[in-house]
Amino acid sequence: MCGITGYISDQVNTIELKEAVDSLKHRGPNNQSFWERNGIGLGHTRLSILDLSEHSNQPMHSHSERYSMVFNGEIYNYIDLSKKYKIKLDNPSDSELILKLFEKIGADFVKELNGMFAISILDRQTKIIYFFRDRLGIKPLFYFFDGENFAFASEIKALLKYKLIKENLSIDKATINQFLNIGYISEPHTFFKNIFKFPAGHKASFLNKKLTTNSYWSIEEQIETSTINNEKLAKQKLDALITDSVKKRMLSDVPLGTFLSGGIDSSLVSAIAQKLSDKPIKTFSVGFKESQYNETEYAQKVAKHINSDHHEFIVSEKEVLTLIDNFFNAYDEPYTDSSGFPTMLVSKLAKQKVSVILSGDGGDELFHGYGMYNWATRLDLPLVKSFRKPISFALRQMSDRYKRASELFLYQDNSKIKSHIFSQEQFFSSTKEISKLSKYQKTYLLNEIVTSNRKLKASEEQAIFDIKHYLKDDLLVKVDRASMFSALEVRVPLLDHRVVEFALNLDPKLKIKNGVQKYLLKKVLYEYVPEKIFDRPKWGFSIPLDRWLKNDLRYLLEQYTEPKLIEKYNILDVEYVQNLKSKYLKGQDYLYNRLWSIIVLHKNLEKYL
């Protein structure tokens, strides 16, 4: 795992390139290198995982010296590809395979890769620079383009080391309302004008100040005309796919372990990894001393059953609170997902023992584990569609729990229902609320249309929305930044594209059956771990932010909702914010995420303006 950066511009100097590379050192502490020639630069910082020798340092150059590459990620089938294409690897590594495969078959080589990656390859003869990002967007890639100058990097902080970018930095205000609505900024936009997220599942070429981008994989293209509905065969297929995915991701020349929360997804990945290992694998969990937020007993039960070498970190809430500054440093633009705090903490602790971790991310989106999918089904019922406003009115007359639920029925129209369900399930501001909260009405709308080869159920469309947006631009961002902040590589077996393609075509009745969510995935898990261990409510990997903002983090609430600060930027309505804060402090705890997004927004405005 690594960090990459580079540019095509006559306005960048060696010092700036070196500073950009240094800013990514946390992603790769083992080596930092760069290459420059005639207004083109490439930089790389390396976390050594495969082939620990200096031969795999980057930028890497082809034998002919025509091609130069920087690459972040891992390719799990590189040995198979070397055999398929009869490519001799001098110092076997996935980096060497990428460069030689590109040289042999061209840009379509990316379709052969199984892995997570962001790749840049420069053709020094034609001056074309190529880019490739993995199918699901597991690894990040940002780029800056102002019509003249082009630069790219694994993180925005590296781009800001280039003087021409930093001195002309301006906020893209059209992202603000989207952020307030969903808690993150979705691809292709960022908080900044002229800085973009390179799209997942795409390849591109840059030549003569023009970036040409093409898709090589998309979710919609994987949806087939019929579904897999034979439970026995589906279970066998899913077990085999996940087992092979885990096996491929256990390839490492450094110590490897798994995150084990005790939930369905991490338990399945850990159990299969242990089955494939000839010695106890290292498993890691983190819990709070405050018992209400400590579920490590479940992880202990799983670890005991699979006989892993389990490491449990019990921390106080105070220890998590010390990560506030690191949290905002790790995420270079407004980002609200507070589960980044415990993820950052367990990554830091796991790094003491291993350099590679397997995690269970993706299971909820692929196999329908969120309450959002039940809501999508409910709101799609003809009777509910006809009487949604009266239903909402009736719910508002009841307790706070029902008042919160009432908002789910008040979506603007069917074209925005998916983002509305997500927003209200996560306790963010609805578009109706934002029209009162924000003085700036322009916004980037999320693409909620799903075009496929068969008619999808509402729950399927909601899940696809989450894969395209929430998973990619929130959850995977969380894991990448939180883990790489401690130079820990996290691999996600459930997001092997073969598993994803299988899940997209699995009958929804095998995802939610008799009220049981993630039904088929659980059936596979119970082949490895007893079902009774999981007979409990679903519990997320979270912190008690709703309580902290009234106590330990009250200072952030007061500082970043202060009227003078709000007036300084003149983006939000002062009176609306104060009213929101007053309701929260008087007991409407569910408003915490609305206020947290306002805090995060103003903290970023203070940082960059």
Residue with tokens 């009432």: 406
Q: Give the separation between CA 238 and CA 234, rounded to whole angstroms.
A: 6
Looking from the CA of 596 toward its CB, the CA atoms found within 13 Å total 27
Pairing of strands 356-358, 142-145: unpaired
> How far is it between the farthest Cα atoms of the chain?
74
Beta strands in 233-379 (DSSP E): 256-259, 282-288, 309-315, 356-358
Tokens of 608: 């960059």
Q: How many CB atoms lie within 10 A of CB 182?
A: 23
The amino acid occupying position 548 is W
Helix, strand, coil share of the chain (percent; to 5): 50, 15, 35
Backbone dihedral angles phi then psi of residue 183, each to the nearest 5 degrees? 90, 0
Q: Which of 108, 54, 96 has its CA nearest to residue 71?
A: 96
What are the b/e assignments for 556-587, b being 16+ CB within 10 Å? bbeebbeeebbeebebbebebbeebbeebeee
Beta strands in 124-220 (DSSP E): 128-133, 142-145, 150-153, 195-197, 202-207, 210-215
**Is 2 annotated as catalytic?**
yes
* CA distances to 185, 235, 359, 501 from 26, in Å: 23, 40, 20, 33
Active-site position among 2, 160, 195, 577: 2
Q: Give the separation between CA 107 and CA 76, rounded to whole angstroms.
A: 19
Residue with tokens 């200096």: 54
The amino acid occupying position 430 is S
Enzyme catalytic residues = 2
